[in-house]
Structures are given as C-alpha cells and as structure tokens.
Amino acid sequence: MKTGLYPKLTLESIRRNGRLYLPYYAAGALMTAVFYVMHFLGWSDVMSGMAGGSTAVDMMKIGTYIVALFGGIFLFYTQSTLLKNRKKEFALYSILGMNRANIRRIILCDNFVSWAVSLALGLALGIGLSGLATLGFTRLIAVPTKYKFSISLSSVGMTALTFSVVFLLLYLNSVRQIQRQSTVELMRAENAGEKPPRSNWVLGIAGLVFLGAGYAIALKIQQPMSALMYFFVAVILVIIGTYLLMITGSVLLCRLLQKNKRYYYKTKHFVSVSSLSYRMKRNGASLASICILLTAVLVMLSSTSTLYIDSDKCLDTRYPNEIGAFACKYGYDERLVPLGERLDAALKETAEEYGATVTNNRTYYEYSISGYFENSKLDVTLNSKSNLAFINYDSVAQILFIDVEDYNRVFGYNESVGKGQALVGTAKNIDIGGVITIGDVPFEVTGRIDERVAEIDPAAAGSACPGIFVIVNDVQEVATHYTQYKDYDGEPMLAWFWNCAFDTGLDEQEQIQLAQRLDERLKAELDGLEFDNAYCESHEGQRGDFVSSFGGLFFLGILLSAIFLVSCVVIIYYKQISEGFEDASRYGIMQKVGMTDEDIKQSINSQMLTVFFAPVGFACLHILAVLPIVNKLLMLFGLFDYGRLLLMAALCVGACALFYSAVYKLTSRTYYKIVH
C-alpha cells in the first residue's frame, strides 16, 4: 500500500469524528500546558532567585510529578473511548483486505497526529500562560518580582520528553487491544453490551468494608502524626470502596428498577433503565471516577484555601513573640541551669546594644522524656531513632517537666506543688487519672492546667507528638530519676530544652537583623559544648516561609483542582457522547412506534437524574468523613480553626455543585442532539 494512504485515512477519520477528537486534543493540550507551567515554576531560573520562595518552588516540583502521573492515566481513559468508537472502522479495513500491520500503521499515524497537536498546542498555551502563572504564583507567596517574558528550554524539553513517552504507551496499548480481538469482535465492540459482574453481592460487601475502613481511619485518628501516617491509607481504601460500591450499586439499582413494574413500564423510564442496564459496569466506573475527582477537588481547595487565608494566624500561633531562641541538649548536667541564665543575659545584652527594648520576657527551661502513655502511665521504652514505622503514634506522648518557680515567674501564677505532687496539663484528648506515673516514679495530680497549656506552648494542640506538661516542685531533682534511660543507640532519652522569647519594639526589618545577630551570639556561647540544636529566629523572619509555603500549596491546589475539574468535564462529555451514539438506535425505534420528542426529553432527564448526581452525593459524604483527618493535618501547620475549614468546605461544595450542574445541562443537550 502507498505510504500516503495512512495519513489520509487518519485525517479523514479525525474530520468525521471531530466531536470525539477535539476534547481529546484539548485534554492532551491542557495536561501538556500545566506540566510546562509547573516545571517552569519549579526548575527555571526565573523562580530560583526569589527570596523566600524555595519551599513553594519545591511544591511545584512535586506537582509536576503529580500532573505527569495523572495526565498519563487520564489520557489512557480518554483514548479508550476513542478507540472503542474506531474499532468498527478497523474491522471494515480488515474486511477490505488490510492486515494487522496496516492497521498498526493507521494507529501510529493517528497517535502521531494526537501527539503533535497536543504537544504543539500545549506548549504554546503553557508558554503563553507561564508569565501569568509566575505573576499569580509570586502574588500568592508574597514575593516581589519584576516580570520578564522568557521561555525555559529545559521545561520545553522535559515536557516534550514526558508526553512523548505517554503517547508511546498509548500507541502500544492501542495495538495490544487491536491485536487481541478478531474482526467480528472489532465489528461488535461499539454495540457490545455488558454482563453484570459475578459475585455482585460479594463485591458490594467488599466495597462497604473498604469504604467503612477508610471512614473509620479518618474519624478515629486523634493525633496529627497519626493523621500524616494513615491519611493516604484512608484515601486508597475510600477510592477502592467507591469504585466497588458504584459499580455494584449501578447493577443493583438497575435490577431493582426493572423489578418495579410501576416505575419501569413507563415511557420516560423504560428506555433509560434499559440503557443503564446495557452498560452497568462502565457506567458505575465512570461515575466513581467523577466522584473521586470531585472529592479531590473539595479536599484540596478547602484545605489549601483555609491555610492561605489563616496564614497570619498560623504564624502568630507558632511565633507569639517577636524574637524566639531555643537550645537543646540530651542528658542530665547540673551545669545546664547556670548556662541557661548566662545565655539569657547574653541575648538580652545583645538586643539592648542593638537598640531593642526587651519586654514580655519568657525565658525558662524544661526537661523532656518520651514514651508510650496509657492508663496514666508513661512507659519509657520508646526508641526515638529506630523502628519508626512500627510506632503507634496515638499512644506516644512527650512529658515536659517545668519547675513550679519558673512557671509562676514566667506565666504570672502563684501555684504551690509539694514533693511527689504535680500540676498536669495537656492540649490533647488524653485521659489522665489522679496519679500519673512517669517511668517508675508516681506523681499525685493535685490540679489540672489544661486551659493554660496554650500559654506555655501556643502550638501544643498541633504538635506531632502529644505533650503533657508536668509542673513539679524541683525539676532538677525530678530529672535525676530519668538519667538511666537510653535508646537502642545508647543515647540519653532525657533532653534539656532552653526556651527564650521576648518582644523588642523594633520594626520588621530590624527584628530580622537582630535575630541574625542573636543567632550568632547564641552559637558562639554554645561553641564546643556539643549541643544537639540551637537557633534564634524572629516572627517577621519566618513570615516569608509561612506565606510562601501556604501560598504555594494554594497555588498548587488551584492548578490541580482545575485539572481535575476539566477531567470531570471531559469524562462527562465522553460519557454523554459515547452513550448517545449507543442509544440513538434505541430511541429511533421508539420514535417509530409512537414516542414523541417530549417523551424523549423526559426519558433523557430520567436517565440523567437517576445516576448523574450520585457522584456529587458521594463526594459530599466523602468530604464529611475526611474533614476530621484533614483538620488534624492542618494542626501540624498551626491551624486550629475547624470552623473555618468547615466553612471553606461548604463554599467549595456549593461552587462544585453549581459547576457540575452547568456541565450536566450542557452535556445533556449534546446527548439529546445525538439521539434525536
């Protein structure tokens, strides 16, 4: 055969099936454009020189990999619809004398055109939008920049390479499907019905189990670290459960509707239910995909927007004073107390030399030890450096001993604690009885200071490891009881924490400069003393990292949500188009036996409303179940406003519902035009 025949056949097929190819090209171009923009933001020289934007840039790099993975999966989905509608065409070519090698060449030409169009349009769109994306990105992360149009050749190259690999895999997948089917199977592929899955009840029960397990994890988790560890486990379980339930639920729904004679044997229901039964598994799978995408959009937008809006609140929680210093050393040493006093005097001296007026001074030290806390007893056998994958983080707790004299002096109270007694407070939901035993030492709990914990540590409620603050009579004496505890590496488990915080009355830039000087002075004072950690930082110095981190997350959430929403549109569109072609002949027959246009519209509405809004309902159910675990994750960032998260989630649900309704309206018209 002449070589030029294959491109002609490909172009003719594209012309005839424009309604199928145009959304496919648009989806490919969109994925390409977003990949280029994210790679441009993550790797180009334009962003690398921006102060304070490093964290956000790292998020763009992570987003690049997510887009590549999701883009490949989504293009496989859209290509499968195209391929199904072309199988009859390939069967005709086979009948006319073409062998499988000739058909492979046609598929190769078709894939090449799709690759070229998607890549060219995507790169053009991505390059055009990169400037706008840069300005929007820098605005969200509050980094000043002077915009200058540029094209990143490395981003162009990586985009071309990534999607060349994707389209190569698409070609191989198409060839695999065509090779495995006979000419007769290809001819019938477009109109082939589906058999209901075997063991339908077994799959349905399995779906309930998976979904219930995912919900249980999301609702049961109490600590932020556990939420971080098990969040993706819950997500995977919910995804599996959603697919199984929607596939089997679609089958069950069709059977129940067919058994209901009053419902089934009506003009507006008969054709719609028959059509649903004809493709029950595929219908459930596509609806489950839409549900998962909508849920992902709701989770991403509600969480990242809440973080971004409350970024100042998170910053104030984490850094309540203008200047904060910290030093840590493992083990017990009597010389640490006078050392702490010397450090405090040195930092105050440096601050006053700089011109600061030291106020709200909060300098004190505490001893810390961690272990498993159950039944008011801390088992100090936790190895903090090994076997981290096997730690039950819900049972891990950190005990922080503070001397009652320091507690009264710093926080303005007049408490008294006797020997063997303690005031106990925690910001977590931890059950503590009348006696708390730490290691082998019991303490009588003479009072609770839970409501005061936020004064000691404003971020205690969101700490990865739950903290229990224990106010004792003589912290130095108490600390001597825990000097023998070692981890598996032989390192002391007892730690000495020195905390220093104060205000200065300086402006923002002066605070940042002072914090740098104090950091240098602190490290000079501790030089040669083998401290494990020591630093000084300012409230304003950390603002850039907070805003850039939360702004970067919000920007990434917006981009990924846009991709997922467009993916929903394409899935819905292909669902309507493919089902419209399948149902056209049925409605044609019904029209010949007296079905009117009004009956057709009612039947279409019945079919759409029967299952079309099921994904929205499931997505709302999912978001209600996962919000508690999302709230625990946000606590790690210092955000404790659950009400704000609920409000943003409600707004996102409303916006997505309006968007989904508009898409439903537009695509149902397309379906009607095909079947009418």
Is the predicted pLDDT of residue 194 greater than 50, yes or no? no
State the DSSP H helix or E strand holding residue 378, giving kind and residue range, or none if neither: strand 377-379
What is each CA distance from 21 to 17, 170, 171, 558, in whole angstroms?
Answer: 6, 15, 16, 27
**Band (350; pLDDT cuts 50, 70, 90):** very high
Residue 574 confidence (pLDDT):
74
Of 179 and 146, more confident: 179
Average pLDDT of the residues of the chain: 80
Is the predicted pLDDT of residue 474 greater than 60, yes or no? yes
Is the predicted pLDDT of residue 386 greater than 50, yes or no? no
Residue 147 confidence (pLDDT):
55
Of 254 and 245, more confident: 245
Residue 601 confidence (pLDDT):
65
What is the rounded CA–CA span in Å between residue 114 and residue 32?
Answer: 12
Is the predicted pLDDT of residue 384 greater than 50, yes or no? no
Residue 404 confidence (pLDDT):
94
Least confident of 264-273, 288-297, 461-470: 264-273
Of 49 and 663, more confident: 663
Q: Do 439 and 482 form a contact (C-beta atoms < 8 A)?
A: yes
State pLDDT tens for residues 34-55.
Answer: 888 888 877 766 555 554 455 5
Residue 59's identity, in one-letter code, is M
Residue 582 confidence (pLDDT):
65
Share of the chain above pLDDT 70, in %: 78
Least confident of 28-32, 167-171, 609-613, 625-629: 609-613
Helix axes 597-611, 267-278, angle to 10 degrees: 50
Average pLDDT over residues 216-236: 78
**Band (385; pLDDT cuts 50, 70, 90):** very low
676's tokens: 């009418």
Residue 6 confidence (pLDDT):
75
Cα dihedral: 50, 53, 56, 62 (round 10): 50
3-state secondary structure of 115: helix
What is each CA distance from 356 to 353, 363, 505, 536, in whole angstroms?
Answer: 7, 17, 6, 16
Residue 656 confidence (pLDDT):
86
Is the predicted pLDDT of residue 429 greater than 90, yes or no? no
What is the rounded CA–CA span in Å between residue 529 and residue 562?
Answer: 53
Of 27 and 268, more confident: 27
Buried b (16+ CB within 10 A) or exposed e, 280-311: bbbbbbbbbbbbbbbbbbbbbbbbbbbbbbbb
Of 631 and 261, more confident: 631
**Band (482; pLDDT cuts 50, 70, 90):** very high
State pLDDT tens for residues 570-587.
Answer: 777 777 776 666 666 666
182's tokens: 């006979």
Is the predicted pLDDT of residue 364 greater than 80, yes or no? yes
What is the rounded CA–CA span in Å between residue 304 and residue 553?
Answer: 6
Spatial CB neighbours of 358, under 8 Å, sequence gap ≥ 6: 348, 351, 352, 502, 503, 504
Average pLDDT over residues 668-674: 72
Residue 520 confidence (pLDDT):
93
Residue 406 confidence (pLDDT):
92
Cα–Cα nearest to 324, from 534, 51, 546, 545 = 534
- The residue count of the chain comes to 676
Cα–Cα nearest to 300, from 561, 74, 646 = 561
Of 279 and 138, more confident: 138
